[in-house]
């Protein structure tokens, strides 16, 4: 993390370095710093789709209400799905989490179903995780990620 911090300090407009620093902060469970880092990365490099996805995921699924931002999470997830024409299962999964966070469980289920269909047999673990979240949505419960390691 120290090296990335130095790179970001010396090159504040380096969105990719900021993105990697934010990823490091997530692994260290420093979510407020990661949120700020992803926002800075997107400010410098708006086309960093993985940064937008990571930010949307945290803002939609964090268990601490103070760190969630339902409107921003949904706007980011919708933008990602629009850019990729609803063909990226990870972004559709994030959209489902953001929709459920806003209480739109019907559309969260639809987005989850699209993500599952696109994964196909490629990733059983990812598909199983989406199926588990889909069950929450069917019960009217949003997904909350408890661990960030």
In this predicted structure, the answer to whether residue 10 has a pLDDT above a threshold of 90 is no
Q: What is the average pLDDT value for the chain, to the nearest integer?
A: 92
In this predicted structure, the answer to whether residue 113 has a pLDDT above a threshold of 90 is yes
The predicted pLDDT at position 5 comes to: 66
In this predicted structure, the answer to whether residue 7 has a pLDDT above a threshold of 70 is no
Q: Identify the weakest region by mean pLDDT among 5-9, 108-112, 129-133.
A: 5-9
67 membership: H or E segment, kind and range: none
Token pair in block for residue 21 = 């620093």
DSSP code for 63: S
Q: Which residue has the higher pLDDT, 125 or 91?
A: 91
Mean of pLDDT values over 44-54? 96
Token pair in block for residue 85 = 């024409």
Alpha helices in 1-123 (DSSP H): 2-10, 15-27, 31-44, 49-61, 70-83, 89-101, 105-119
Q: Identify the weakest region by mean pLDDT among 1-5, 83-87, 126-130.
A: 1-5
Q: Tell me the C-alpha distance between 134 and 31, whole Å.
A: 25
Q: Which residue has the higher pLDDT, 64 or 9?
A: 64
Q: Tell me the C-alpha distance between 1 and 108, whole Å.
A: 35
Token pair in block for residue 137 = 């949505």
Confidence of residue 125 (pLDDT cuts 50, 70, 90): confident
Look at residue 43 and give its three-state secondary structure. Answer: helix
């Amino acid at each position: 993390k120290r090296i990335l911090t130095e790179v970001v300090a010396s090159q504040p407009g380096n969105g990719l370095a900021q993105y990697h620093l934010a990823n490091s902060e997530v692994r260290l469970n420093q979510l407020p710093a990661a949120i700020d880092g992803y926002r800075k990365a997107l400010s410098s490099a708006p086309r960093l789709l993985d940064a937008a996805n990571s930010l949307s995921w945290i803002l939609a699924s964090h268990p601490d209400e103070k760190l969630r931002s339902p409107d921003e999470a949904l706007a980011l997830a919708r933008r990602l799905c629009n850019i990729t024409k609803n063909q990226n299962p990870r972004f559709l999964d994030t959209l489902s989490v953001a929709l459920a966070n806003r209480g739109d469980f019907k559309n969260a289920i639809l987005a989850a179903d699209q993500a599952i269909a696109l994964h196909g047999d490629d990733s059983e673990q990812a598909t199983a995780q989406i199926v588990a979240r889909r069950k929450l949505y069917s019960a009217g419960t949003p997904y909350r990620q408890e661990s960030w390691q």
